[in-house]
Amino acid sequence: MNAEIIAVGSELLLGQIVNTNAKFLSISLAEMGVNVFHHTVVGDNPQRLKKSIEIAEQRADLIIFTGGLGPTKDDLTKETIANHLGRRLVTDEAALNSIEAYFLKVNRQMTENNKKQALVLEGATVLPNEFGMAPGMFIHNQNHYYMLLPGPPFEMEPMFTKYGRRAILAKMDKREHIESRVLRFFGIGEAQLETEIESIIEGQSNPTVAPYASDGECTLRITAKHQSSEEALRMIDETERIIQERVGEFCYGYNETTLMMETVKKLKRSGLTIACAESLTAGMFAAEMASISGVSNILKGGVVCYSSEAKEKLVKVKKETLDKYGAVSKECAAELAENIRTILDTDIGISFTGVAGPDSLEGKEAGTIWIGIAVKNQPVKTFLLSLASNRNSNRLRTVKYGCHYLMRELESTSNKS
Amino acid sequence: MNAEIIAVGSELLLGQIVNTNAKFLSISLAEMGVNVFHHTVVGDNPQRLKKSIEIAEQRADLIIFTGGLGPTKDDLTKETIANHLGRRLVTDEAALNSIEAYFLKVNRQMTENNKKQALVLEGATVLPNEFGMAPGMFIHNQNHYYMLLPGPPFEMEPMFTKYGRRAILAKMDKREHIESRVLRFFGIGEAQLETEIESIIEGQSNPTVAPYASDGECTLRITAKHQSSEEALRMIDETERIIQERVGEFCYGYNETTLMMETVKKLKRSGLTIACAESLTAGMFAAEMASISGVSNILKGGVVCYSSEAKEKLVKVKKETLDKYGAVSKECAAELAENIRTILDTDIGISFTGVAGPDSLEGKEAGTIWIGIAVKNQPVKTFLLSLASNRNSNRLRTVKYGCHYLMRELESTSNKS
């Protein structure tokens, strides 16, 4: 099956936003074994959209549209497709009910144009929108399949993953299975990773191994094709085994996981509680941990000690420490981690203090960062980072290093016991 | 002049990278008064690329290609265009010299395929590449202009800005200026916003007014065309004035600003300090504030009071308050805001407590959230939210509402004084 992705929206053509939806869908479709040969972006203009559909029909079996399902007058994807396919738009009662329920819940007034969002193509399978109001649609018409998805990624992505993907797979003639697995690495650069496994990348065409780097992390995607899904997975296992032998110490997880998700898993498994003292990161570590549901048994809390005053008042850092060594110091990081652990009576205390940049501080260069980790009944440890990116990238990477060192500590602690 | 942007590269169709080049070029072209009606992405395949060129020639005067100018076998943009236009590829001596100089400089051996990069379309204006090896090209053939740019953004962007832009402007007969301004709104839904200004959207074709919604915010982009840039801006001013009369109370800023950036601006202007007590948001408010450089004079710090213990120990919330009203209550939000303000001796204290979801808590539904704002020498205020999104979207929106209410308080405080 060949697919084309058509993103509808003048905001894309004006450069107001980037077409991240095409990236997300392309990755998903590749995993499903669907070839994507074209991405198209067209504005909120019915004539040009209609022409783009006609062109796509010449070269694709499946056309996926994103955007233009909103309540306003310039949202006209489904109207244009209805017109093109000669189908009516009918109200979907389930969608209308969920829109009405949404407005009741948020206690806002529903306007007449919101009802437009409950209109769907006659004969279409409706794809529920669990994070917004516009339902998605999937329809078969003559030789083509058409899927309509909303534009906002936080609505589109879960809709496609939960409903869209399955609807397409059900129509595919599955003679060949494509399986893939992403290995995630931290603490090793992309070039070094590639050098270590060069012979594996070059020597194989099935499975293939594709490296990719972003935000201080690297991934390797292993993809195998076989008539039997089990055999494809076995081929992936075998390639992974060789990779892990060479660079396994840097591999922290699979697929869509994150360093923080793995850290929380490890803490849960060990039944340990944690508290944070964050100067440089100013709450980012705790906030990311709290983004994971069910973390309240683990994370007791912490402090954002952005000023010296907050370090002294909230975390009882000694004035002498700050005067003698400064806030960006091994000594301050150690006191912060140990003190917050004691104050909130947790098993672990973690601290972050450093110079985010762009300016230097206390004579220390931007990117100089100390992380402190205090584990109950053990001497506190500190780690020095020298990062070279911009302010916010430095802060984000510091949180990742915090997870990285914390996981290593948890491993060595559990190995000892 | 109408343009189409064709990005060439299978890595885009596999979802390995996002097409940020299209965004960059679209912004630049809009500023130059060139309409962009289509973006196309096509793989490293000569047949499909040739067809995409033929389609683009039907609907655009200027076709800009990005990517496929590299040294390897799958880079074939210029070969395909040469074939399509019936032109030869000839070695550009200046480009060849600069490639040779590059290899001398990095002390690496030049391979035979690098010479391929110095080939250009016969008759083309060469656009020098100051950050890489592949030169760009601009050529007029019959009724169309073709521009070839390299794929890597750090090569493409400076090449376009310095050479490509000028080459296009020289071919445009009347320089029509397109000016645009984005107004940002919070606290009003997209459908309601459009209803309020429907007559403005419908009645005008120049300027145009386009609404867009994302992450709980709405924007209106006002775009005006005129031969005089000043006149285009005056037209935008006039349209903005009418919009502000109707929905000005929800407008918080212009273009690329954020609620947090505006909040920090207002705090800086008033010379006020702030401290935060974050349960639900767990540090997200403070972390986002600290993402702005130079905020250390404003943000003294805060606490992440994720557990009852942290609320009592770090922010001195009364046990009776927690027992009687619960952590998700008006009373708890008020104490948190007032106490953190007193503890860190700031002008303002802000607090967030609520049920992020997916489960309910203390008998309160997911999405029930209290924000407390304590301003020195004023009674503490509380605000109740009922949000209906998922866990993390609820937390993100809570931070936005915090900024929204805080800015309103700062306005009313400064009006009183």
Tell me the per-residue pLDDT of A190-218, one tens digit each, with 9 for 90 and over. Answer: 777 878 888 887 777 889 887 776 677 88
Å between B269 CA and nearest CA of chain A? 20
- Can you tell me the distance from the alpha carbon of B290 to that of A392, in angstroms, rounded to the nearest whole number? 9
- Taking the Cβ of residue A18 and every Cβ of chain B, the question of whether any pair is shorter than 8 Å is answered with yes
CATH 3.30.70.2860 domain range(s) in chain B: 177-254
Q: What Cα–Cα distance (Å) separates residue B260 from each residue in B227, B288, B407?
A: 36, 7, 10
Amino acid at A223: T
B20/A18 Cβ within 8 A: yes
Q: Are the CB atoms for B289 and B260 separated by under 8 Å?
A: yes
- Can you tell me the distance from the alpha carbon of B417 to that of B414, in angstroms, rounded to the nearest whole number? 5
Please count the other Cβ atoms lying within 10 Å of the Cβ belonging to residue A288.
26
- CATH fit for domain B259-416, picks 3.30.950.10, 1.20.1260.10, 3.30.1370.60, 3.90.950.20: 3.90.950.20
For every residue of B170-214, which 3-state class applies, written as one string?
Answer: HHCCCCCEEEEEEEEEECCCHHHHHHHCHHHHHHCCCCEEEEEEE
What's phi and psi for B328, nearest 5 deg?
Answer: -95, 80
A vs B: CB pairs below 8 A: 290
Predicted confidence at residue A393, as pLDDT, reads 83
Residues in chain A closer than 8 A to B201 (CB atoms): 73
Strand partners, A66: A7, A149
Task: Enumerate residues 52 to 111 of chain A having a beta carbon within 8 A of any beta carbon in chain B.
Answer: 52, 55, 59, 70-74, 102, 105-109, 111
Among all residues of chain B, which has the CA nearest to that of A220? Answer: B16
- Taking the Cβ of residue A41 and every Cβ of chain B, the question of whether any pair is shorter than 8 Å is answered with yes
Strand partners, A253: A184
Q: Any residues with CB less than 8 A from the CB of A90 and at least 6 apart, and which?
A: A119, A120, A122
User: A177-254: what fold?
Assistant: Alpha-Beta Plaits (3.30.70)
Q: What is the distance of C-alpha A96 from the center of its chain?
A: 30
Q: Which of B27, B191, B387 sits opposite A71 (nearest CB)?
A: B191
Task: Enumerate residues 214 to 273 of chain A having a beta carbon within 8 A of any beta carbon in chain B.
Answer: none
For every residue of B113-134, which 3-state class applies, written as one string?
Answer: HHHHHHEEECCCEEECCCCCCC
Predicted confidence at residue A413, as pLDDT, reads 78
Q: What is the mean pLDDT of residues A85-103?
A: 91
- Can you tell me the distance from the alpha carbon of B138 to that of B147, in angstroms, rounded to the nearest whole number? 4
Residues composing chain B: 417
- Taking the Cβ of residue B309 and every Cβ of chain A, the question of whether any pair is shorter than 8 Å is answered with yes
Q: Rounded mean pLDDT of chain A?
A: 91
Residues in chain A closer than 8 A to B195 (CB atoms): 111-113
A306/B301 Cβ within 8 A: yes
A163: DSSP letter: I
For every residue of B258-308, which 3-state class applies, written as one string?
Answer: CHHHHHHHHHHHHCCCEEEEECCCCCHHHHHHHCCCCHHHCEEEEEECCCH
| Whole-number CA gyration radius for chain A | 26
A306/B13 Cβ within 8 A: no
Residues in chain A closer than 8 A to B182 (CB atoms): 16
Q: What is the mean pLDDT of residues A341-366?
A: 93
* Beta strands per DSSP E along B338-380: 348-354, 368-375
- Taking the Cβ of residue A383 and every Cβ of chain B, the question of whether any pair is shorter than 8 Å is answered with no
Percent of chain A with pLDDT strictly greater than 70: 98
Predicted confidence at residue A213, as pLDDT, reads 67
Domain A2-169 is found in CATH 3.40.50.300: no
Q: Which ranges of B304-366 does DSSP label H, i.e. alpha helix?
A: 308-315, 319-325, 330-343
Q: Is the pLDDT of residue A160 over 90?
A: yes
Q: Are the CB atoms for A168 and A146 separated by under 8 Å?
A: no
Residues in chain A closer than 8 A to B305 (CB atoms): 301
Q: What is the mean pLDDT of residues A103-107?
A: 80
**Which is it for the CA torsion B236, B241, B242, B244, positive or negative?**
positive
Residue bearing tokens 């206390």: A362
Complex ipTM value = 0.78
Predicted confidence at residue A26, as pLDDT, reads 95
Q: What is the mean pLDDT of residues A69-91?
A: 92
- Taking the Cβ of residue B367 and every Cβ of chain A, the question of whether any pair is shorter than 8 Å is answered with yes
| Whole-number CA gyration radius for chain B | 28
Å between A285 CA and nearest CA of chain B? 8
Task: Enumerate residues 136 to 195 of chain B having a beta carbon within 8 A of any beta carbon in chain A.
Answer: 180, 182, 189-192, 194-195
Residues in chain A closer than 8 A to B28 (CB atoms): 15
Among all residues of chain A, which has the CA nearest to that of B30? Answer: A14
Q: Any residues with CB less than 8 A from the CB of A318 and at least 6 apart, and which?
A: A335
- Can you tell me the distance from the alpha carbon of B311 to that of B319, in angstroms, rounded to the nearest whole number? 9
Q: Which of A108, A212, A310 sits opposite B189 (nearest CB)?
A: A108
Predicted confidence at residue A416, as pLDDT, reads 63
Q: Which ranges of A33-163 does DSSP label H, i.e. alpha helix?
A: 46-59, 77-85, 93-106, 112-115, 153-159
Residues in chain B closer than 8 A to A343 (CB atoms): 313-314
Which tokens go with B113? 């395929």
Predicted confidence at residue A310, as pLDDT, reads 95
- pLDDT tens digit at each of 417 positions of chain B: 899 999 998 889 988 889 999 999 998 898 788 999 999 999 989 999 999 999 999 999 999 999 998 877 678 999 999 999 999 999 999 999 988 887 776 666 777 778 888 999 999 999 998 878 889 999 999 999 999 999 988 889 989 988 999 899 888 866 677 788 989 999 998 888 988 998 888 877 899 888 877 778 898 989 888 888 899 999 999 999 999 999 999 999 998 899 999 999 999 999 999 999 999 999 999 999 999 988 999 999 999 999 999 999 999 999 999 999 999 999 999 999 999 999 999 999 999 999 988 888 889 999 999 999 999 999 999 999 999 888 888 999 999 999 999 999 998 877 765
Peptide bond into A207 cis (omega under 30): yes
Single out the residue of B351, B322, B328, B352 nearest to residue B338, CA to CA. B351
Q: Span B2-171: which CATH code?
A: 3.40.980.10
B19/A13 Cβ within 8 A: no
A305/B180 Cβ within 8 A: no
Amino acid at B265: K
Residues in chain A closer than 8 A to B391 (CB atoms): 291, 293
- Can you tell me the distance from the alpha carbon of A127 to that of B169, in angstroms, rounded to the nearest whole number? 46
Which tokens go with B88? 């030869």
Q: What is the mean pLDDT of residues A14-37?
A: 91
A153: DSSP letter: H
Predicted confidence at residue B382, as pLDDT, reads 98
CATH 3.40.980.10 domain range(s) in chain B: 2-171
- Can you tell me the distance from the alpha carbon of A61 to that of A56, in angstroms, rounded to the nearest whole number? 9
Residue bearing tokens 């936080």: A154
A106/B387 Cβ within 8 A: yes
- Taking the Cβ of residue A322 and every Cβ of chain B, the question of whether any pair is shorter than 8 Å is answered with no
A129: DSSP letter: -
- Order of strands across the sheet that contains B251-254: B208-214, B217-226, B177-186, B251-254
Strand partners, B251: B185
Residues in chain B closer than 8 A to A309 (CB atoms): 300-301, 344-345
- Can you tell me the distance from the alpha carbon of A205 to that of A239, in angstroms, rounded to the nearest whole number? 12
B386/A310 Cβ within 8 A: no
Q: What is the distance of C-alpha B192 from the center of its chain?
A: 23
Which tokens go with B2? 């109408």
Å between A330 CA and nearest CA of chain B? 21
Q: Any residues with CB less than 8 A from the CB of B182 and at least 6 apart, and which?
A: A16, B219, B220, B221, B222, B254, B255, B256
Q: Which of A12, A289, A344 sits opposite B313 (nearest CB)?
A: A344
- Taking the Cβ of residue B345 and every Cβ of chain A, the question of whether any pair is shorter than 8 Å is answered with yes
- Can you tell me the distance from the alpha carbon of B92 to that of B80, in angstroms, rounded to the nearest whole number? 18
Peptide bond into A71 cis (omega under 30): no
CATH 3.40.980.10 domain range(s) in chain A: 2-169
A19/B25 Cβ within 8 A: no
Question: What's the start-to-end Cα distance of chain B, in Å?
Answer: 54
A286/B307 Cβ within 8 A: no
Q: How confident is the model at residue A307 (pLDDT cuts 50, 70, 90)?
A: very high
Among all residues of chain B, which has the CA nearest to that of A20? Answer: B18
Which tokens go with A347? 């098993």
B293/A301 Cβ within 8 A: no
Q: Any residues with CB less than 8 A from the CB of A128 and at least 6 apart, and which?
A: A94, A95, A98, A135, A136, A159, A163
